[in-house]
């Protein structure tokens, strides 16, 4: 369920239970490549979404699918560890997407308050606006440092799951807050499809869910602290 680009993918990497008896069971998991034309495989578009409309989302179904042994990716029994490694990168990628949305929302809001006039002044002259901008830009810079720190860990093969989870969770929350405030600073125009900020708000929402929900990121961070 809910696989990004599932309906248009030419092949799928599937985490399979290839050994039914081994304990713990995750040691019996392997990654296997399945081509979209394999008999028994179907991918169905799940339909309209709130945001992230540039990628279709699919429900994948496997019914007695058979593939040659050469479709094993990596070593048998290592699939769980391979998947964990992929998830570390995905978290940083989602965090980077969120950072981009936060920055894009902020840039639109900054440009808007510099030109919009109300009550004889530009919005940028209201102290409430100035303080809001100061708070948001501080959070964006904090998120940027966290994302860069997590990405550096991936590059160095020095991966701390706490750090990747913190980056994803924090950057996502910042993106949602900045997009929300950017709409607010645009007033009624911010709610209109004509302005980018409403789309940024909708696109940011999924980042708190896919790649591991906020709650799962908290579990990972706490596990790193408490074991």
Ligand X SMILES: Cc1cc2nc3c(=O)[nH]c(=O)nc-3n(C[C@H](O)[C@H](O)[C@H](O)COP(=O)(O)OP(=O)(O)OC[C@H]3O[C@@H](n4cnc5c(N)ncnc54)[C@H](O)[C@@H]3O)c2cc1C
For residues 155 and 215, which CB has a smaller minimum distance to ligand X in the complex? 215
- DSSP secondary structure code for residue 208 in this structure: G
Of 57, 103, 165, 172, the residue at the interface with ligand X (CB under 6 A) is 57
CA distance linking residue 149 with residue 52, whole number of Å: 26
Interface with ligand X includes 3 (CB under 6 A)?
A: yes
Q: Among the candidate windows 17-25, 154-162, 197-205, 208-216, which touches ligand X by CB under 6 A?
A: 208-216
> For residue 24, is the peptide bond before it cis, meaning its omega torsion is within 30 degrees of 0?
yes
Those residues whose C-beta lies under 8 Å from the C-beta of residue 109, and which sit 6 or more positions away, are 133, 136, 178, 181, 182, 185, 186, 197
Per rule CB under 6 A, is residue 84 in the interface with ligand X? no
CB of 42 to ligand X, least distance (A): 17
Residue in 81, 189, 191, 210 binding ligand X, rule: CB under 6 A: 210
Question: Within a 10 A sphere around the Cβ of 43, how many other Cβ atoms?
Answer: 17
Q: Which is nearer to ligand X, 15 or 38 (CB)?
A: 15
Query: Does residue 209 bind ligand X (CB under 6 A)?
Result: yes
């Amino acid at each position: 369920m809910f696989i990004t680009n599932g309906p248009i993918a030419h092949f799928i990497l599937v985490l399979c239970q290839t050994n039914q008896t081994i304990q713990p069971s995750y040691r019996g998991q392997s990654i296997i490549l399945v081509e979209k034309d394999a008999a028994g495989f179907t991918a169905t578009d799940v339909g309209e979404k709130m945001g992230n409309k540039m990628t279709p989302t699919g429900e994948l179904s496997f019914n007695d699918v058979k593939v040659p042994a050469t479709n094993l990716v990596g070593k048998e029994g290592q699939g769980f560890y391979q998947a964990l490694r992929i998830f570390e990168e995905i978290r940083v990628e989602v965090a980077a997407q969120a950072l981009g949305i936060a920055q894009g929302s902020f840039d639109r809001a900054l440009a808007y308050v510099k030109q919009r006039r109300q009550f004889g002044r530009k919005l940028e002259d209201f102290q409430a606006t100035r303080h809001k901008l100061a708070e948001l830009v501080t959070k964006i810079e904090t998120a940027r440092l966290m994302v860069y720190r997590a990405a550096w860990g991936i590059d160095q093969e020095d991966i701390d799951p706490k750090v990747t989870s913190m980056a994803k969770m924090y950057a996502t929350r910042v993106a949602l807050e900045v997009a929300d405030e950017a709409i607010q600073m645009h007033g009624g125009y911010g709610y209109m499809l004509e302005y980018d900020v409403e789309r940024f708000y909708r696109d940011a929402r999924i980042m708190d869910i896919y790649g591991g929900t906020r709650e799962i990121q908290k579990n990972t961070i706490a596990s790193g602290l408490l074991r």
